[in-house]
Amino acid sequence: MFKRILIANRGEIALRVQRTCRELGIETVAVYSDPDRNARHVREADLAVNIGPGPALESYLSIDKIIDAAKQTGAEAIHPGYGFLSENALFTEACDAADIVFIGPSGSAMRAMGDKVSARLLMEKAGVPVIPGANDIDAEDVDTAMREAERIGYPLMVKAASGGGGRGIRLVHQAKDLESGMRQAGREAQASFGDSTIFLEKYVSPARHIEVQVMADNHGNVRTFGERECSIQRRNQKVLEEAPSIAVTPEIRSRLCEAAVSAAKSCDYRNAGTVEFLMDADGSFYFLEMNARLQVEHPVTELVYGVDLVALQLAVAVGEPLPEHSGLAEPHGWAIEARINGENSYRNFMPDLGLIEHVEFPTGPGVRFDTMLFDGLELPVFYDSLVGKLIVWAEDRELAVRRLRRALHDLIVVGIETNAPFHLALLDHPDFQTGNFHTGWLEASFEMPPLNVTTGESTALVAAAIAATVIESNSSNKSSTSPTTKWLKASRKKAVGLDITSGGSGWHSGIASR
């Protein structure tokens, strides 16, 4: 096994990898930008190297700086986490050139799966179901696109060939909107990926987004760990995931896993990956894409299959074969993950980052909170708004929903808004509780409910705010960072939850989550 690895990432995923390394006796090297100097992943690493200023292009996306940091510290391998350089074939090749093990797939597999058109062709050859579409179209070639669109039929999706993360995608309902959709998708793809090539794909709706976790070693073995339900999405971004899926039967699961194995073998895949499918109402499914890395939502799979996916990644990367029993063969219980973002659920999910004055983590049976938060952390504006992942496990879905609701109530963050109120409202929605949703459901059918506070509750909350202020003024000799002061701030924030400037629609996360 490795003696020392570098983690080319930040935040909760860097901490997640560190924990497994610590259990295995592996030293870790953290890299950090200037704004992340006091981050938890830096403090908990054995060694840490500064790699530049806040903008990701000058730090976490700098291949040369990360390779230099690995060389300086004697790291034998690099774990990329997710995002940043995790699916960059040039990075894997730079690791190879520096004689450093990249903990992930090969550059050739990344290229094969990173280009959506190439991946579609591979899947067709491997016998994996693919959505009808048209490949490799120039974003300016409207005539060709029009002919192909007539063949495919409307509605259809315009997608970036090199896309990912929900960027470079447009839904087109009729021919008159195709040209503008192409140009918008092409511009966004060029800006995000440096490639404006697009392809067309039949729009499958209503459909579920179902993905299968795979792990492949260097000895020809490919193992699957069931499916994850990822249909709760906003702007093509997942916000809540669960395992297993309420819509997947054992027979469908078997077919999904078989297709995922074929997908992995088609490009000689190694290490952890995720094969994503769209599944319609009758259980038919189609290949969507393959993510050549560990996913944000991997914890739900770990909980229902009793496996440490990071530990398996490390074992595979060092050349070990997959163990014969590397986890449960079938899902056990139910797990749900809520992505906790720094954003205001009542103001169109506007990002809200800044100083974390105080945080209280949920605990109790079946609760896991992967986060980088701590009292006094200043959240930088240079990175995304994900601040943690709240995951629960229970014997069945109904109990898992109740457990997640309880854990969300127990989560207290003072200093920024979080989307905890959104998750609580989602869990209470009848469609979510019955599993009656699809990828377009959230934006089409869900609205944040108004906060229902009775007159008596309002009076009690205002009284609590006044009391908190009086107590704080009488305790002015206490430090503003003391536990008492933090709790006063928390109670006052919950009490004065209504933002009167927003006409009653903007509520702080504390009161909205109670």
Residues 188, 261, single domain; the answer is no
pLDDT in tens, the chain (514 residues): 999 999 999 999 999 999 999 999 999 999 999 999 999 999 999 999 999 999 999 999 999 999 999 999 999 999 999 999 999 999 999 999 999 999 999 999 999 998 878 888 899 999 999 988 887 888 889 999 999 999 999 999 998 887 666 678 999 999 999 999 999 998 888 887 778 888 898 988 899 999 999 999 999 999 999 999 999 999 889 999 999 999 999 999 999 999 999 999 999 999 999 999 999 999 999 999 999 999 999 999 999 999 999 999 999 999 999 998 777 789 999 999 999 999 999 999 999 999 999 999 999 999 999 999 999 999 999 999 999 999 999 999 999 999 999 999 999 999 999 999 999 999 999 999 999 999 999 999 999 998 765 444 444 445 445 555 555 555 545 444 554 455 445 544 444 443 323 333 333 333 233 2
Q: What is the 3-state secondary structure (H, E, C) of 310-350?
A: HHHHHHHHCCCCCCCCCCCCCCCCEEEEEEEECEECCCCCE
Q: Which domain-ending residue is among 152, 169, 202? A: 202
* Domain identity same for 234 and 96: no
221 and 177 inside one domain: no
Residue 372: inside a domain: no
pLDDT of residue 513: 32
Per the domain annotation, does 465 fall within a domain? yes
Q: Which residue, of 87, 103, 119, is where some domain finishes? A: 103
Closest CA to 34 of 48, 15, 14: 48
Domain that holds residue 489: 455-512
Are residue 72 and residue 151 in the same domain, yes or no? no
CATH of the domain at 111: 3.30.470.20
pLDDT value, residue 191: 80
Give the predicted TM-score (pTM) of the model: 0.84
Pick the catalytic residue: 16, 228, 293, 492? Answer: 293
Give yes or no: residues 119 and 241 share one domain. yes
Report the C-alpha gap between 175 and 186 in whole angstroms. 17
Q: What is the pLDDT of residue 486?
A: 54
Query: Of the candidates 320, 412, 289, which has an alpha carbon nearest to the alpha carbon of residue 357?
Result: 412
Catalytic residue status for 293? yes
d(CA 455, CA 369): 35
255 and 195, same structural domain? no
Tell me, yes or no, whether 73 and 198 share the same domain: no
- Is there a domain that residue 321 lies in? yes
Mark whether 136 and 126 lie in a shared domain.
no
Looking up residue 25, the CATH number of its domain turns out to be 3.40.50.20
Distances (CA, A) of 96 to 2, 322, 350: 16, 23, 41
End-to-end CA distance of the chain: 47
User: What one-letter code names the amino acid at 350?
Assistant: M
> Are 324 and 269 members of one domain?
yes
C-alpha 267: how far from chain center = 24
